A and B are shown apart, each in its own frame.
Chain A
């Protein structure tokens, strides 16, 4: 697992590699071992889950001006149900991420490998997230098309 020459994501926030401390006794991957990359990924997960809940709230809110209804609006029961589904999915994802984060010692050491984790969340969490977005998109399209 040698560090690659170029940045994997091309961003400027990449920590400098081990080149500056190559002559010291510290291992060259020490800077990467600070957990910056896993932490960035965890923050990306948190942003995404928060955005999913916010978009769900927008859908729950309905029209800002009551009576402006030339596009059929979803019934309140359906909107509340969608929001509940999104909240449950967000909660499941949050608990999963928290447990994994704690289990990997804040992204420093994954159990088993000893190095930083290859993934912050398991692949099923990605499927859960996609399911949440698809539910919202599907409910939005179906209610407009079916004309509730």
Chain B
């Protein structure tokens, strides 16, 4: 992992990957991390920062779901980066990632919680 060319690129038989692809992969990883940080900022805001008139249970639930989602994204992002890196060095087709679906459903769940908490 510590080599200059990264994983999957050190074997002699592997084809060399265009640097624009590896850099795009690196930026995608960073974009996911920024997404996790933004969600974490939302969790901090809900749990501590903002004076909200919510009951403790929905407030804690929303904050914990957001913080857990940020954790899941942070664990998944480097794995995804490594997987794409390996696929690129082998030359196979890229597989779809499950993370956008997970993120969408979790954010939708939080939206529903907030809406229900305010309506009921």
A residues within 8 Å of B by Cβ? 1-4, 8-9, 32, 37-38, 40-41, 44-45, 47-48, 51-52, 54-55, 58-59, 61-65, 68, 70-71, 73-74, 110-113, 115-124, 126-127, 129-130, 133-134, 136-138, 140-141, 144-145
Query: Do B74 and A1 touch across chains, with their CB atoms under 8 A apart?
Result: no
* B contact face: mostly helix, strand, loop, or mixed: helix
Query: Do B23 and A65 touch across chains, with their CB atoms under 8 A apart?
Result: no
18 extra A-B contacts, CB within 8 A, seeds A62-B49, A63-B49, A71-B56? A1-B18, A2-B18, A4-B20, A32-B20, A37-B24, A38-B23, A44-B26, A47-B34, A55-B44, A116-B19, A116-B23, A119-B6, A120-B26, A130-B77, A133-B37, A137-B67, A141-B68, A144-B60
Sample (20) of A-B pairs whose CB atoms are under 8 Å apart: A4-B20, A37-B19, A44-B30, A47-B34, A48-B37, A51-B37, A58-B45, A63-B49, A64-B50, A68-B52, A117-B19, A118-B5, A122-B2, A123-B6, A130-B33, A133-B70, A134-B74, A137-B71, A140-B67, A144-B63
If the complex has contacts A64-B49, A71-B60, are A9 and B24 also in contact, measured as CB distance less than 8 A?
A: yes
**List of A residues within 8 angstroms of B106 by Cβ:** none
Query: Do A140 and B43 touch across chains, with their CB atoms under 8 A apart?
Result: yes
Query: Do B23 and A41 touch across chains, with their CB atoms under 8 A apart?
Result: yes
